[in-house]
Amino acid sequence: MDLREQLNIHGTTGEGLKHWLADIPLTELLNGWDSLTPQEELQIFMGLNLATKADLITELSYSQQETLITSLSAQNARQLLAELEPDDLTDFLQAVSPEVRKSVWNNMSEESRKESLFLLRFDEDDAAGLMTPRYLAVRAAITVSQALNFVRRNAKAVEIVYSLYVVDELQRLQGVVDLKTLLSADDSLTVRQIMDTHYISVREDTDQEEAARILETYDLVSLPVLDSHNRLLGLITFDDIIDVIREEHTEDTYKMVAMQGKAERYLDTSVWGQVKKRVPWLIILLLLGTITTSVLDHYEQSILGAAFLILFIPVITQTGGNSGSQSATLMIRGLATEEIHTRDVVKVMLKEIAVGLLMGAITGAVIIARTILLPPGVGIYPALVIGASLSFVVLFSTVIGALAPIVISRLGFDPTVMSTPLMSTVIDVCGLTIYFETARLFLNL
Amino acid sequence: MDLREQLNIHGTTGEGLKHWLADIPLTELLNGWDSLTPQEELQIFMGLNLATKADLITELSYSQQETLITSLSAQNARQLLAELEPDDLTDFLQAVSPEVRKSVWNNMSEESRKESLFLLRFDEDDAAGLMTPRYLAVRAAITVSQALNFVRRNAKAVEIVYSLYVVDELQRLQGVVDLKTLLSADDSLTVRQIMDTHYISVREDTDQEEAARILETYDLVSLPVLDSHNRLLGLITFDDIIDVIREEHTEDTYKMVAMQGKAERYLDTSVWGQVKKRVPWLIILLLLGTITTSVLDHYEQSILGAAFLILFIPVITQTGGNSGSQSATLMIRGLATEEIHTRDVVKVMLKEIAVGLLMGAITGAVIIARTILLPPGVGIYPALVIGASLSFVVLFSTVIGALAPIVISRLGFDPTVMSTPLMSTVIDVCGLTIYFETARLFLNL
């Protein structure tokens, strides 16, 4: 039963609605949200309790957030905005239209405005762009018992209570005490005695993906962000890092099929926005691909001498492209997860030559069998020549596919530029040359 | 300076080594680890403190873990194993060779063996395969002050102190109290009064990726795992979920270039292991791709009538494949992140038709200009025909690329089977047909 049907059963206001929504899982709301009208969205939203409202709104797209917030009364909007975390609120302020921003700003508390102004100083793509300015900080001289009392009085004000940060009078980070250590420690010890001075932190201008990798390596719930004087600016929490990892995943996937730009919701972008994202690489690859036109023109004589060669052009380019993309992707992913390093180049090459020889032999045998057994029949000797060419193309593509990302990475560039389509285009040109040269050799053209 | 040079400076045993390693970031060790000899690995490992040893070993590959553990003395191995989290230890036990497993088992404490036997009952790919059996559980009737004392006494034994789980006498989960709530609550309240009974949980057999999505949606640090009687079995912590998300990313990336199987470390797999992962789809796509041979054979007369058509075969297939892969990837990623639903099919189709028309027009214009301006010259009218064909192919590929994953998903299959190479192969066949039919029409062949 979808949300609309349930809304009809439980009524659009009153106790029935509240009762139904008190137990509703957030995932159910999110799955059905897109199919609701703005009026239905508002009816359901008003039936939720404040905490669920805040949870729901941060999971919606910015355009959906905007629709909702602008349809709330001033008082309801104020209550909701007070419930949002400062980092989510600041992201929202940056995303909405100027009019909505103004009205939201007017409904924010004085403290929230200060926090947002502080957060807006930092670049969205830096570590500081992810942080919340609310954390629990104490001095090193106090006792465990005093620190615990401090935590108990202030826990409600912060997003995540997991670590206690020890700062000096200039707000410089001296050490970190995780709550587990604090709770397990003797009341009479001082914070200085139990704090970890080898804490892990990032700078305000550390790249977000680098911050993600650090939080991941050390299994941290939160990561302190420091300025160049070691002053504590705020915290990045694990949930924001998971979002960074997901976005990175989407952007990597787009790069693999030669699309550029940020991860955006497909349904939120315009037709022209989609074309701008997709057509530039399509044109570049098209122009690069026309080199094959010259290659084919060059081998015109061979083609006229053995017309059956034409029939296998797409099979040769496609299979070469596939095997090249496979090894390129293994390298790109291995380099990204730091399982492969550029210094492993010799080890990788030897392995890929062996893999390429085997895969070349297998695919060559398959195409020979296929060509002999099924129409269009071209005879046994031509079939053997095509099989041999395909083997060379697969070997070449496999090795080049692995080598290119490592070399690009060693030169200091991002190996993901060697996307699947670029790989295929390069291999089309080289593969056709190998194909016709092999044919010329064996067929005496 | 790499680890080996530092090891030479600081000495392979003694205080110099310990002093250097006391401050070393884990990331530095991990980056340099692959280039060390087994002996150097052991020297550095022995210089680390116990906690860093445990952190390091869980980040290494299983084969590296095996090398290290087998070179430790029985006493050192025992100490280290006692430091590992039960879930990491169990994963390790499942990965190593039978001989190593036996020696590790002999060095485990009685309690660890019990925990491992318990965890080994569950499927690796299920939610329960990720969980730790150590958590803090209390009864609902006790007071906040009693609960807090309980936490203080037992915090050290568990991986993450973040939530307190309230269970009845049959170990059934009644509610969850996060530490923030417990710390902020009045000492005299009972746990029952402050516990959240609308807690989020997963079943033991929930898929890992589903568990990841739930933890992510609700921004949870840990997620309780229940059996079919609602009994609490253990907890999944956010750090294991981040690993699941990374693995999912790698596996999705592999599927995109038609490779099968699990994410494994490239350098750990054998040549034959690599071939088995890569060659099956290569063969399937090769056989599917040979349909193009029949298509080309079918249009033999047209080709003989206008030989310049041959020159553009790779450009047509490559550009069609690229535009189809782009829209397929947008859909597959949109469906995976639940930003696009199968019910959006009409909205998506209208948008992709508009995008396809625009991209077709642009790429058509580009190929016309390129063909007229640069060799091999084919004349203006043939250039216009090629431009028109390319436009149709791009329009067709863009729409089919978007439609296929949605239809596949609606039929209940995983849309990632519509990988980039499969898409390209299907489009090769259709694209060539469109190309030659267009040419026949305009050139009266």
Rounded CA separation A398/A7 (Å): 57
- Determine, for residues A315 and B289 on separate chains, whether the beta-carbon distance falls below 8 Å: yes
B161 touches chain A (CB under 8 A): yes
The amino acid present at B309, given as its one-letter code, is L
> If you average pLDDT over every residue of chain A, what do you get?
86
Q: What is the pLDDT of residue B263?
A: 66
A residues 96-125 lying closer than 8 A (beta carbon) to B: none
Closest-CA distance, A290 to chain B, in angstroms, reads 6
Q: How far apart are CA A195 and CA A175, in angstroms?
A: 6
Between CA A145 and CA A151 the distance in angstroms is 10
Share of chain B above pLDDT 90, in %: 29
pLDDT of residue A264: 73
Our CA angle for A50, A53, A55, nearest 5°, is 110
Q: Given an 8 Å threshold on Cβ–Cβ distance, is B362 in contact with A283?
A: yes
Q: Concatenated DSSP letters for A272-335?
A: HHHHHHHHHHHHHHHHHHTHHHHHHHHTHHHHHH-THHHHTHHHHHHHHHHHHHHHHHHHHHHH
Please list every residue in chain A whose beta carbon sits closer than 8 Å to the beta carbon of residue B253.
252-253, 256, 329, 333
Strand order across the beta sheet in which B222-226 lies: B202-203, B222-226, B232-237
Of B211, B214, B177, B213, the C-alpha closest to B192 is B177
Q: Count of A–B CB contacts within 8 Å?
A: 358
DSSP string, B390-407: HHHHHHHHHHHHHHHHHH
pLDDT at residue A15 in the model: 80
User: B223 falls in which pLDDT band (50, 70, 90)?
Assistant: very high
Span B234-260, mean pLDDT? 85
**Residues of chain A found within 8 Å of residue B325, distances taken between Cβ atoms:** 257, 420-421
Ramachandran angles phi, psi of B400, nearest 5°: -65, -40
- Which domains can be identified in chain B, with CATH numbers? 3-120 (1.25.60.10), 137-243 (3.10.580.10), 290-443 (1.10.357.20)
Distance CA A411, CA A406 (A): 9
Residue A231: which pLDDT band, with cuts at 50, 70 and 90? Answer: very high
Most B CBs within 10 A among A271, A312, A327, hence the mutation to make, goes to A271
Check whether A29 has a pLDDT greater than 90.
no
In the block, residue with structure tokens 């690796």:
B124
| Interface touch B347/A271, C-beta < 8 Å | no
Whether residue B176 is predicted with pLDDT greater than 80 in this model: the reply is yes
Q: Which two structure tokens, joined as six digits, stand for B334?
A: 């949109």
- What is the side-by-side order of every strand in the sheet holding A232-237? A202-203, A222-226, A232-237
DSSP character at residue A168:
-
Statement: residue A187 has pLDDT above 70: yes
Q: Is the CB of residue B355 less than 8 Å away from at least one CB of chain A?
A: yes
3-state helix, strand, coil in chain B (%, to 5): 70, 10, 25
The reported pTM is 0.78
pLDDT number for residue A139? 94
The pLDDT-based confidence of B373 (bands split at 50, 70, 90) is confident
- Torsions phi, psi of B374, nearest 5? -120, 155
Q: For helices A313-336 and B291-298, what crossing angle results, to 10°?
A: 150
- Predicted local distance difference test score (pLDDT) of residue A261: 66
pLDDT of the residue at B1: 67
Which residues on A lie below 8 Å from B265 (Cβ)? 334, 339
Backbone angles phi, psi at A233, to 5 degrees: -95, -35
Cα B127 to Cα B225: distance, rounded to the nearest angstrom: 7
Residues of chain A neighbouring B59 (CB-CB closer than 8 A): 217
Question: CB within 8 A of B440, min separation 6: which ones?
Answer: B299, B302
Q: What is the pLDDT of residue A20?
A: 84
For residue B338, list chain A residues with Cβ-Cβ distance below 8 A: 30-31
Q: How far is A304 from chain B (nearest CA, A)?
A: 10
pLDDT for the residue numbered B204? 92
Question: A389 with A443: CB under 8 angstroms?
Answer: no
Chain A segment 282-301 residues within 8 A of B by beta carbon are 282-283, 285-287, 289-290, 292-294, 296-297, 300
Of the two residues A12 and A274, the one the predictor is more confident about is A274
Is the confidence at residue B131, as pLDDT, over 70?
yes
Average pLDDT, chain B: 86
Q: Which residues of B touch A289 (CB under 8 A)?
A: 314-315, 318-319
